[in-house]
């Protein structure tokens, strides 16, 4: 165990130096991208906001079922099959079929090549599960059908979220999918997420609908209230134009009324539709509806054909800016709920870093002093191993651009405390061996050999805990598991390559000395 | 070094451990744990006031007027810092936190919100579940590892020692109503690793000695093994405790609970490797035949 080939010494040295370089690169500035890596600080250290959003897919499911009903009606009509009594109940479509066509409908729905109820070969599942009782059919999304629906609404939503967050212009936001109905938004450096939250909390479904002339709610109209809650109006359900046709929107000042408005421009299809509707509707009031609330309902004085318009509605400059931003980024497929929020102010982050570094330095000094007191020269070797261990650990974290969190710093300090264990096990073993062995080289050698399984056992158990934490933990805890896990690997390296190398060199030089350790 | 007769006290310390475990379980069942917002849901606000005139009573009074459910206010580190926790969480309302801040400024003067955590009921239930799964999984993984590496008598001893450490550490948290949050779960897992580590070192030596001495009774043999590894046990515990104490004292308020749990775990872990794991080997009458038989197979 004490013999090292020249090549090995050389490679250990080179490896240690290269990794240590990355530790130092945290404190220096180099232009080259690869050589100027920095450890990333978690939100708890640099300050910032962490938001976990969950998509409320209920409305999407209902919407999808409604459009599916239309598809079914058309499909059966084309096939000359009479179906009646379509209802949507408990997230399923129910309808009746004439007696003679039951089998035909069944096969149309249940076939692997069904046009209306697609079959997904690799998941062995149709889009809908079918239940049949006499003439009545009940269709419900299959598990896979739901997954498909959720995935597509998540894909759309994350795109919109990204646009909205980017528009606000925060520093390096991190937006990720979580499962099939959640979105994680990390906003470093943001200590007041109020604005982002209000932007993400709106679906931003914009529609233009005419105000109905009748004062009673009837088929084809709905009662909607105004944004400011002042009054209500009966609005035609027919949508003249929706936000999908919007190309751009920005806050502007209306020179005539001296009020802040949102001016928008439409794409070609939208402009055409809008022109036609406004030509027919001169004199009527057109309601501008956002998420089911009327922002304003101006009277159409003349046809608007250019595809440009304005939305007024008692805006402040800020609220007009936000509305324009929402309209530009598009509507979310479904409402988002913020189910978890963690915000750390930059002051606290800085305090945490300082406290973390302070306790690292003090913990390090205490351990180093104790080891020197216990083992003298060999304590120095263990301490040297400990220092290189720290350099390797921080270097590797930097190289892989791992995120350092406050619990992560705690993991590093804990590594400092536990890393000496391996060297202690070896030194104690050597002491025992020296009691029965006069040749100190043999004693050192067998000390290393005999302690090896114990050291591996001891470190593997801690590694198991770290790996489980990594997979089960979130955010800051993940940071802890990374430093703890990488710390074990660097510990083993520093003990078996660096400390052993120095020990070997020393023992071979001083083999005749009494009381080596 | 002089031999210490640890084995003389196996019985008495086993009784003590038994009492501690029962007491911990009683507390855990009847008093329960003080779950933080991570696991209970709700809102946590760490705030700093600029005047020292603000005290807990004043802050609690102003929060109580806001209809937020149960409010708890605690000093956090120095006298201008406080942590406020309440059940209500309303992260969907973007103005929720802003309104609290405004109302608070009106009653106690300017405040700085240093940290806001808002956890919904669904997320907290999930975090709790994954925390429990993580601990259960790590216990199972340790069991598996030690079962592969050692004979079943050893596994049983090590696992009993683990449960002992985890239960008593949680018991202490229950007695003193210390907060259980995500970082405590991390601490418990690390305790599991550390306690195992400590036990494995002694067990390795026990097994080695079993091979060496055929005629020494396990009662004596465990004592020899404990003594042979004692200086390592002490040095490693001391260095680990030094590092943890440094975090506890200088690492700031956020890491206090974490480092306290770890400190307790290291103390109990060291104790249990000696006084739980080894007596199990003694009462299962482990002998040279135990390991020889296994190795033949």
Question: For residue B207, is pLDDT > 80?
Answer: yes
Query: In this structure, is the dihedral angle defined by the CA atoms of residues B150, B153, B156 and B162, taken in order, positive or negative?
Result: negative
Q: What is the rounded distance in angstroms from the CA atom of residue A424 to the CA atom of residue B213?
A: 25
Distance from CA of A310 to the nearest CA of B (A): 27
On whether both B128 and B246 belong to a single domain, the answer is: yes
pLDDT at B6: 92
B positions 2-41 inside 8 Å of A (CB): none
Indicate which CATH number applies to the domain containing B50: 3.30.70.3400
Query: How high does pLDDT run on average in chain B?
Result: 89
Query: What is A206-342's CATH number, 3.40.50.720, 3.30.420.10, 3.30.1360.200, 1.10.3720.10?
Result: 3.30.1360.200
| Overall pTM surpassing 0.80 (yes/no) | yes
In a domain, B218, yes or no: yes
pLDDT at A488: 94
Q: What is the pLDDT along chain A (517 residues), one digit of tens a residue?
A: 677 788 888 999 999 999 998 888 888 777 676 777 788 888 999 999 999 999 999 988 988 898 888 888 888 888 888 888 888 888 889 989 888 888 888 888 888 888 888 888 888 888 898 888 888 889 999 999 899 999 999 999 999 999 999 988 778 899 999 988 999 999 998 888 888 888 888 889 999 999 988 777 777 888 888 888 888 889 888 888 888 888 899 999 888 888 899 999 999 999 999 999 899 888 899 999 998 899 988 888 888 888 888 888 888 888 899 999 999 988 898 899 999 999 999 899 999 999 999 999 999 999 999 999 999 999 999 999 999 999 999 999 999 888 899 999 988 998 988 899 999 999 999 999 998 888 888 999 999 999 998 999 889 888 988 898 898 877 678 888 999 999 999 999 999 999 999 999 898 888 888 777 7
CATH architecture of the domain with residue range A58-146: 2-Layer Sandwich (3.30)
The CA–CA distances, whole Å, from A268 to A9, A470, A484 equal 72, 52, 59
On whether both B219 and B256 belong to a single domain, the answer is: yes
Bridge-based pairing state of the strands A293-296 and A221-226: parallel
The two three-digit tokens of residue A348, written as one number: 């606290």
Contact predicate A349/A45, CB 8 Å: yes
Query: Angle A324-A329-A334 (CA atoms, 0-180°, nearest 5)?
Result: 115
Please say which residue of B91, B119, B147 terminates a domain: B119
Query: In this structure, is the dihedral angle defined by the CA atoms of residues B206, B212, B217 and B223, taken in order, positive or negative?
Result: negative
- Chains A & B: contacts with CB separation below 8 Å: 225
Residue for token pair 């506890």: B248
Contact predicate A121/A147, CB 8 Å: no
Q: Please list every residue in chain B whose beta carbon sits closer than 8 Å to the beta carbon of residue A339.
A: 91, 119-120, 122-123
Q: Please list every residue in chain B whose beta carbon sits closer than 8 Å to the beta carbon of residue A425.
A: 201, 232
Q: What is the rounded distance in angstroms from the CA atom of residue A20 to the CA atom of residue A25?
A: 9
Judge if A6-47+346-509 and A58-146 fold alike in CATH terms.
Answer: no
- Please give the torsion angle defined by the CA atoms of residues B155, B161, B163 and B167, in that order, rounded to the nearest 10 degrees: 180
On whether both B260 and B168 belong to a single domain, the answer is: yes
Nearest beta carbon to residue A345 from set B112, B231, B240? B112
pLDDT at B275: 95
Residue for token pair 């409604």: A66
Residues 6+ apart with CB under 8 A from A261: A251, A252, A253, A254, A310, A311, A312, A313, A315, A320
The CA–CA distances, whole Å, from A39 to A256, A466, A469, B110, B180 equal 55, 20, 21, 35, 29
* Burial letters A258-294, b for 16+ CB under 10 A, else e: eebbbbbbbeeebbebbbebbeebeebbbbbbbbeeb
Domain that holds residue B64: 42-119
Read off φ and ψ for residue B285, nearest 5 degrees.
50, 50
pLDDT at B91: 64
Q: What is the rounded distance in angstroms from the CA atom of residue B252 to the CA atom of residue B78?
A: 10
Contact predicate A493/A392, CB 8 Å: yes
Could B235 and A424 be called an inter-chain contact, meaning their C-beta atoms sit closer than 8 Å? yes
What is the CATH number assigned to the segment(s) A6-47+346-509?
A: 1.20.1640.10
Contact predicate A233/A224, CB 8 Å: yes
Nearest beta carbon to residue B247 from set A201, A371, A413? A413
Where on the phi/psi map is residue A85: left (φ > 0), alpha (ψ -120 to 50), or beta?
A: left
Nearest beta carbon to residue A370 from set B192, B201, B242? B242
Contact predicate A227/A295, CB 8 Å: yes
B positions 124-143 inside 8 Å of A (CB): 127, 130-131, 133-134, 137-138, 141-142
Distance from CA of A382 to the nearest CA of B (A): 12
The CA–CA distances, whole Å, from B198 to A449, A458, B117, B243, B291 equal 19, 7, 37, 17, 21
pLDDT at A350: 92
Q: Which residue of chain B has the CA closest to A43?
A: B115
Q: Please list every residue in chain B whose beta carbon sits closer than 8 Å to the beta carbon of residue A465.
A: 138, 142, 189-190, 192-193
Residues 6+ apart with CB under 8 A from B10: B275, B278, B279, B282
Domains of chain A, residue spans = 6-47+346-509, 58-146, 206-342
B positions 170-229 inside 8 Å of A (CB): 182-183, 185-186, 189-190, 192-194, 196-198, 200-201, 204-205, 228-229
On whether both B78 and B224 belong to a single domain, the answer is: no
Question: For residue B1, is pLDDT > 70?
Answer: no
- Angle, helices A406-436 vs A377-399, to 10°: value is 150
Please say which residue of B119, B141, B167 terminates a domain: B119
Tell me the sheet residues that pair with A311.
A262
Residue B98 contacts A, CB cutoff 8 Å: yes
Bridge-based pairing state of the strands B111-119 and B42-49: antiparallel
pLDDT at A22: 87
Q: What is the rounded distance in angstroms from the CA atom of residue B224 to the CA atom of residue B9?
A: 14
Query: Angle A284-A287-A293 (CA atoms, 0-180°, nearest 5)?
Result: 155
The two three-digit tokens of residue B87, written as one number: 């059940």
Distance from CA of A451 to the nearest CA of B (A): 9
Contact predicate A396/B200, CB 8 Å: no
The two three-digit tokens of residue A74, written as one number: 């058309």
Q: Please list every residue in chain A whose beta carbon sits closer than 8 Å to the beta carbon of residue B98.
A: 192, 194
Bridge-based pairing state of the strands A286-290 and B34-35: unpaired
On whether both B222 and B92 belong to a single domain, the answer is: no
* Burial letters A189-224, b for 16+ CB under 10 A, else e: ebbebbebbbbbbbbbbbbbbbbbeeeeeeeebeeb
Contact predicate B158/B142, CB 8 Å: yes
Residue B51 DSSP label: S
In a domain, B11, yes or no: yes
In a domain, B217, yes or no: yes
Distance from CA of B193 to the nearest CA of A (A): 4
Distance from CA of A86 to the nearest CA of B (A): 35
Nearest beta carbon to residue A339 from set B97, B123, B183? B123
Q: Which residue of chain B has the CA closest to A339?
A: B120
Please say which residue of B65, B95, B119 terminates a domain: B119
Contact predicate B178/B34, CB 8 Å: yes
Task: Count the neighbouring beta carbons within 10 Å of the beta carbon of residue B240.
Answer: 28
Closest Cα partner for B163 from B5, B36, B28, B39? B28
On whether both B210 and B76 belong to a single domain, the answer is: no
ipTM at complex level: 0.91
Tell me the sheet residues that pair with A187.
A49
Bridge-based pairing state of the strands A221-226 and A232-236: antiparallel
The two three-digit tokens of residue B48, written as one number: 């700093």
On whether both B127 and B251 belong to a single domain, the answer is: yes
Contact predicate A418/B236, CB 8 Å: yes
The two three-digit tokens of residue B116, written as one number: 């806001």
Residue B77 contacts A, CB cutoff 8 Å: no
Nearest beta carbon to residue B242 from set A351, A363, A459? A363
Residue A39 DSSP label: P
Could B186 and A413 be called an inter-chain contact, meaning their C-beta atoms sit closer than 8 Å? no
On whether both B283 and B143 belong to a single domain, the answer is: yes
**Cα A205 versus chain centre, distance:** 24
**Cα A209 versus chain centre, distance:** 37
Tell me the sheet residues that pair with A248.
A265
On whether both B265 and B130 belong to a single domain, the answer is: yes
Q: What is the rounded distance in angstroms from the CA atom of residue A298 to the CA atom of residue A261?
A: 13
Q: What is the 3-state secondary structure (H, E, C) of A246-267?
A: EEEEEEEEECCCCEEEEEEEEC
Indicate which CATH number applies to the domain containing B239: 1.20.1640.10
Q: What is the rounded distance in angstroms from the CA atom of residue A250 to the CA atom of residue A201?
A: 20
Q: What is the rounded distance in angstroms from the CA atom of residue A208 to the CA atom of residue A287?
A: 6
Closest Cα partner for A488 from A506, A465, A516? A465
Could A465 and B231 be called an inter-chain contact, meaning their C-beta atoms sit closer than 8 Å? no
Q: Is A290 helix (H, G, I), strand (E, B) or coil?
A: strand
Nearest beta carbon to residue A359 from set B141, B189, B251? B251
pLDDT at A222: 87
Number of folded domains in chain B?
A: 2
Residue B94 contacts A, CB cutoff 8 Å: yes
């Amino acid at each position: 165990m004490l013999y090292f080939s020249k090549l090995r010494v050389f490679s250990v040295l080179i490896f240690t130096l290269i990794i240590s370089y990355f530790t130092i690169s945290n404190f220096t500035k180099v232009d080259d991208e690869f050589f100027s890596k920095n450890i990333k600080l978690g939100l708890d250290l640099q300050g910032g906001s962490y938001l976990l959003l969950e998509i409320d897919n209920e409305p999407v499911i209902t919407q999808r079922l409604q459009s599916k009903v239309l598809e079914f009606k058309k499909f059966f009509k084309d096939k000359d099959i009479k179906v009646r009594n379509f209802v949507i109940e408990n997230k399923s479509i129910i309808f009746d079929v004439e007696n003679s066509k039951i089998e035909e409908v069944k096969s149309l729905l249940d076939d692997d090549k069904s046009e209306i109820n697609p079959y997904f070969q690799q998941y062995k599942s149709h889009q809908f599960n079918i239940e049949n009782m006499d003439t009545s059919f009940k269709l419900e999304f299959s598990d896979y059908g739901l997954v498909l629906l959720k995935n597509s609404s998540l894909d759309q939503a994350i795109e919109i979220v990204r646009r909205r967050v980017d528009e606000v212009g925060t520093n390096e936001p991190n937006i990720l999918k979580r499962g099939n109905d959640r979105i994680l938004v990390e906003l470093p450096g943001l200590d007041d997420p109020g604005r982002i939250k209000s932007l993400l909390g709106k679906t931003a479904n914009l529609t233009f609908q005419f105000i109905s002339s009748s004062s009673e709610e009837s088929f084809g109209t709905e009662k909607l209230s105004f944004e400011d809650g002042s009054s209500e109006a009966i609005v035609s359900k027919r949508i003249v134009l929706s936000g999908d046709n919007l190309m751009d929107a920005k806050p502007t000042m209306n020179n005539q009324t001296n009020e802040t408005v949102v001016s928008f421009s439409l794409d070609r299809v939208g402009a055409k539709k809008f022109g036609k509707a406004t030509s027919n509707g001169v004199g009527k009031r057109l309601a501008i509806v956002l998420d089911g609330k009327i922002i304003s309902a101006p009277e159409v004085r003349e046809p608007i054909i250019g595809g440009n318009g304005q939305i007024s509605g008692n805006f402040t400059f800020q609220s007009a800016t936000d509305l324009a931003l929402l309209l530009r980024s598009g509507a979310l497929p479904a409402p988002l709920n913020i189910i978890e929020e963690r915000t750390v102010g930059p002051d606290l982050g800085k305090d945490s870093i300082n406290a973390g570094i302070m306790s690292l330095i003090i913990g390090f000094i205490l351990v180093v002093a104790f080891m020197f007191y216990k083992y003298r020269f060999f304590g120095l070797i263990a301490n040297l191993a400990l220092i290189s261990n720290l350099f390797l650990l921080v270097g590797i974290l930097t190289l892989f651009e791992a995120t350092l969190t406050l619990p992560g710093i705690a993991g590093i300090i804990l590594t400092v405390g536990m890393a000496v264990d391996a060297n202690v096990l070896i030194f104690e073993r050597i002491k025992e061996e020296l009691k029965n062995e006069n040749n100190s080289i043999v004693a050192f050698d067998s000390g290393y050999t005999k302690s090896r399984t114990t050291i591996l056992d001891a470190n593997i158990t801690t590694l198991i805990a770290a790996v489980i934490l990594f997979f089960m933990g979130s955010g800051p805890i993940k940071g802890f598991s990374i430093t703890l896990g990488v710390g074990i690997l660097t510990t083993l390296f520093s003990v078996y390559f660096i400390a052993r190398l120095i020990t070997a060199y020393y023992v071979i030089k001083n083999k005749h000395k009494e009381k080596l350790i | 070094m002089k031999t210490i007769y640890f084995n003389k006290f196996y019985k008495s310390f086993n009784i003590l451990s038994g009492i501690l475990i029962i007491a911990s379980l009683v507390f855990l069942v009847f008093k329960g744990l003080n779950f933080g917002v991570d696991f209970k849901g709700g809102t946590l606000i760490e705030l700093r006031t600029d005047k020292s005139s603000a005290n807990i009573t004043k802050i609690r009074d102003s929060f109580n007027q806001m209809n937020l459910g149960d409010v708890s206010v605690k000093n956090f580190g120095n006298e201008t810092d406080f942590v406020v926790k309440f059940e209500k969480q309303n992260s969907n309302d973007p103005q929720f936190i802003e309104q609290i801040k405004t109302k608070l400024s009106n009653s106690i003067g300017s405040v700085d919100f240093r940290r806001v955590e808002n956890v919904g009921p669904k997320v907290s239930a999930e975090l709790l579940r994954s925390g429990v799964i993580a601990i259960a999984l790590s216990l199972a993984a340790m069991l598996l590892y030690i079962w592969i590496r050692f004979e079943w008598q050893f596994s049983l001893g090590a696992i009993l020692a683990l449960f002992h450490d985890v239960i008593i550490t949680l018991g202490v948290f229950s007695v003193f109503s210390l907060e259980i949050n995500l970082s405590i779960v991390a601490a418990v897992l690390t305790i599991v690793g550390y306690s195992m580590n400590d036990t494995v070192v002694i067990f390795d030596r026990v097994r080695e000695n079993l091979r060496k001495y055929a005629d020494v009774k396990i009662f004596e043999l465990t004592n020899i093994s404990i003594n042979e590894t004692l200086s390592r046990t002490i040095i490693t515990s001391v260095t680990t405790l030094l590092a943890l104490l440094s975090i506890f004292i200088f690492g700031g308020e956020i890491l206090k609970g974490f480092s306290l749990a770890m400190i307790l775990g290291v103390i109990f872990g060291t104790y249990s490797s000696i006084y739980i794991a080894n007596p199990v080997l003694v009462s299962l009458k482990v002998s040279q035949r135990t390991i020889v038989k296994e190795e033949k197979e």
